[in-house]
Amino acid sequence: MSPARKPEAMRITIFAVGDRDALDVSAVLGTELDRRGHNVILVEPDTPTTDPSTLELFVNAAAGADLIVSALHSQDEASCLAEAAGVPMVALHLEPGPDESAFSRAHGGGTRLPRPLARVLQNAELHAQWAPDAPRINAFRARLGLSPTSRSATDRMRRAGYVEIQAYSRLLVPSLVAWDERRPLVGFVTDAEAPLPTGAWVGGDEIFVDVALGHAVHDAVERVAARSGDRVVRGRADHVRLDGARMAVHAGTAATTAAVARAGIPSLVLSQSRAQAFWGRSVRDRGVGDWLDLADLADETLERAVRPLLSAGPRRRAAHLRTALLGETAVADSVQIIEDAVSVPSSRHRRARDLRTGAATTR
């Protein structure tokens, strides 16, 4: 489904910096924006953002853009470029960040922290993330003719009024509160129409194991499955149809969690990071999965986690969740939000644009 209203064509630069999930979401939105007639430049650098060649690539790609869109790991640089050019920016978030209340659970081992304590921890984390990069970002700002800053990208984007698309579903994070037009929650952005390889179907009630977890996990799941006569199949969750599987064992990235949930089967998340643990707790809270720390994995703990997920209750709840998720229109909604970011700029964008064109009123 595409937005009904079609504005004039724009030049849109998308920085797809981060993991495969960030690239996939950026590519899906870029493809739809291109189909809508916009001139889209998708930037996927081969070098890290700390490399001077990457910054040069960013500067060149953003030149003349009407709008800059950025995944998480390039939002510092993207926000500087947008500020310097006086154009809007749209940020993409694939999971709640450290400044969002839902993510505070990850600080407390799954227990929601009191709001004052959560805010202190969130601010401390934002500062800890920003401090090592501050000299590099301020050097980049100086190159762009901007003054130094002591504020993180998160703080600067909030103060500038930049839109931050939350590209995940409230159906898996029902505790989200205080959302506004600046941080629209759209659902999981996936390419539901992308063709799959021939034969890419998991059927016959197998237990699916994502290859990202490695051979040791696959072997452990096979040992557990053999005790009950279940079969195990390996693959990449974003390259197969999972509808026929009994359940999926995966690492808990945002995209994989979304793929499994949209397939309507239970998840067992074996996490190696706090973000993955967040999604593991989310599926457990919804009654459609469970979560283990990969470092604590043993046959006994794995079997205790797998067995309940093969029962009727989790599978029924997973099927209901699938129906609800398929009703989301995340791609169409995101594209409309991106287009509206230019057609209805914030007051700061208007002032920057007027200064750039000499139309500002002097006092």
194 vs 88, more confident: 88
Structurally, the chain folds into a number of domains equal to: 2
Which residues, listed in sequence order, are joined to residue 41 by a DSSP beta bridge?
13
Residue 151 in domain: yes
CA gap 43, 59 in Å, rounded: 11
Domain identity same for 338 and 319: no
Domain identity same for 25 and 160: yes
Q: What is the CATH number of the domain that holds 291?
A: 3.40.50.2000
Domain identity same for 26 and 133: yes
The helix (run of H) or strand (run of E) holding residue 208 is strand 207-210
260 vs 110, more confident: 260
Domain identity same for 159 and 272: no
Residue 202 in domain: no
122-150 pLDDT, tens digit per residue, is 667 777 777 888 999 999 999 999 999 98
Radius of gyration over every alpha carbon of the chain, rounded to an integer in angstroms:
22
Domain identity same for 111 and 145: yes
CA gap 203, 225 in Å, rounded: 16
* pTM of the predicted model as reported, rounded to 2 decimal places: 0.84
Domain identity same for 310 and 337: no
Domain identity same for 61 and 153: yes
Residue 194 in domain: no
Task: Judge whether residue 302 has pLDDT over 90.
Answer: yes
CA gap 26, 325 in Å, rounded: 20
What is the pLDDT confidence band of residue 359, given thresholds at 50, 70 and 90? very low
Residue 3 in domain: no
Task: Judge whether residue 179 has pLDDT over 80.
Answer: no
Residue 193 in domain: no
Residue 259 in domain: yes
187-216 pLDDT, tens digit per residue, is 999 876 555 544 555 556 789 898 889 899
DSSP string, 129-166: HHGGGHHHHHHHHHHTTPPP--S-HHHHHHHHT-EEEE
- Domain holding 275, by residue range, is 207-325
Domain identity same for 173 and 249: no
The candidate with the shortest Cα–Cα distance to 208, out of 231, 190, 184, is 231
Burial category of 347 from C-beta neighbours within 10 Å (exposed 0-12, middle 13-18, buried 19 and up):
exposed
Domain identity same for 16 and 161: yes
